[in-house]
Amino acid sequence: IIQSQEAWSPAGTGRHFPAGALLSVDLAQLKANPGHLEPTLIYAPERRQALQGAAASKDMLLVSILDNVRGRILLFHPDRNGGWTRSSLELPDNSTISVSDTSRTDNRAILAVTSFLSPPSLWLADASSRHAEQIMQQPPKFDASNLVAEQREAVSSDGTKIPYFLVHRSDIKLDGSNPTLLYAYGGFEVSQTPSYSPATGKLWLENGGVYALANIRGGGEFGPAWHEAGLSTRRQIVYDDFTAVAKDLIASKVTSPRRLGIRGGSNGGLLMGVEFTQHPELWHAVVIDVPLLDMIRISKIAAGASWEGEYGSVEDPAVRAFWEKTSPYQNLRANIQYPVPFIFTTTKDDRVGPQHARKFAARMEEMGLPFLYYENIEGGHAAGANLRQTARTNALELTYLTRKLMDAQEPPVK
């Protein structure tokens, strides 16, 4: 079984396979002639689909895909003509679904299913009968009885439709007054799919907040091309996608700039820094977690040199010119009215390094700009070294968001 990361035309076959396709080859033929491959197509993603993985049972393949960022399980059975017969399983919508394990003695499998409003669960599926049933589920951590999850689309600067999920109370009033938290990542072909967050549910959604998850380019939601669209000097489109989602939330009266906050970490922290400097008028709260912020010196800090494939190298004049006008650290201005950000890093972050957050905060201090800064002395490239530290970080950030967007009592920022 082969997955094509790029479009592929095997020599001598006259056939062409798109990027993100799933293929099979005859093992006996491959061993006999390793230099000549004659693949058979199992699955080719449609325009708004992406292959996530494949697992074999006794004589079937269970293929997990994203279909417009919704999890699906497709079933494939080899036929007598050397091809594959396709069917599917009926499973919950607006969910993230993966194959946890398969049987080699029959066609049963264990599936993991989760969503914004349903705790993680395990399902027993029989691929032969195309039947699946839930067998186990974690207890709920927040009250989701009056909450709904929906999917919407915004239109980016180049006309591309950008999907996003919206989680909110069923009786929401579209008057621009709803405290809204927008999250995204936008890099490294990492897909942002529905997931169950007890902290967000308990501390944000239960208190009337709205949560939005943007599926911007740079991720893998629609396969390799969705990721490649935002590489290196093309990365401004990633930031435009995020801005488009924010403006759609405002235009549809879900929220307003006074009630809109954003949050992201690591590469998503870079996203937050860019949005903070490019569009300070759109946000009233910005959480910048374990971020990349100085993209001119990224290769000199921690593991930054290993990400040239994603961000490009500043040794290339075109790349340097792009980041000089885009990098958050280089584009802070003293005469701009920014929202007060919450900047979080850890002393022992050996992936991104704390230098980015420290430099950004120091530059803001030099300019007389207010900010909140918290550095955990443990934890690496994460919210904490253990559950207690992670809970503390979540509490700090969600308290900040509540004070900024829900008009809770807010102490002065020094």
- Among 7-11, 84-88, 258-262, which stretch is predicted with the lowest mean pLDDT? 7-11
What residue spans define the domains of the chain? Answer: 70-139, 147-405
Residue 385 has pLDDT above 90, yes or no: no
* Number of other CB atoms surrounding residue 136 within 10 Å: 10
Do strands 147-155 and 108-115 pair parallel, antiparallel, or not at all (unpaired)? unpaired
How sure is the predictor about 81, in pLDDT bands with cuts at 50, 70 and 90?
confident
Of all residues in the chain, the percent with pLDDT exceeding 70 is 98
In the chain, the percentage of residues whose pLDDT exceeds 90 is: 90
Q: Give the class (CATH, top level) of 147-405.
A: alpha beta
- CB count within 10 Å of CB 30 equals 14
Average pLDDT in the 194-203 region? 97
- What tokens appear for 230 in the block? 């935002």
Q: How many Å apart are CA 206 and CA 409, to the nearest integer? A: 18
Which among 156, 266, 284, 327 is annotated as catalytic?
A: 266
Distance CA 161, CA 169 (A): 25
For the cut 90, the answer to whether the pLDDT of residue 283 exceeds it is: yes
What average pLDDT does this structure show over 373-384? 92
Residue 407 has a pLDDT of 84
Tell whether the model's pLDDT for residue 82 goes beyond 90.
Answer: no
Q: Which structure tokens are listed for 47?
A: 């325009």
Quick check: helix, strand or coil at residue 356?
A: helix
- Please provide the average confidence, as pLDDT, over all residues in the chain: 96
pLDDT (average), residues 327-344? 98
- Quote the pLDDT of residue 349: 94
The pLDDT assigned to 413 comes to 54
Q: How confident is the model at residue 412 (pLDDT cuts 50, 70, 90)?
A: low
Cα–Cα distance, 252 to 155 (Å, whole number) = 13
pLDDT (0 to 100) of residue 34: 84
pLDDT tens-place string over residues 286-333: 999 999 999 999 999 999 999 999 999 999 999 999 999 999 999 999
Helices (H), 13-72: 27-32
Task: Please say if 381 is a catalytic residue.
Answer: yes
Residue 22 in contact with residue 69, Cβ under 8 Å? no
∠ CA(321), CA(324), CA(327), 5° rounding? 130
Q: Does 266 qualify as catalytic in the annotation?
A: yes
Catalytic residue among 168, 227, 284, 381: 381
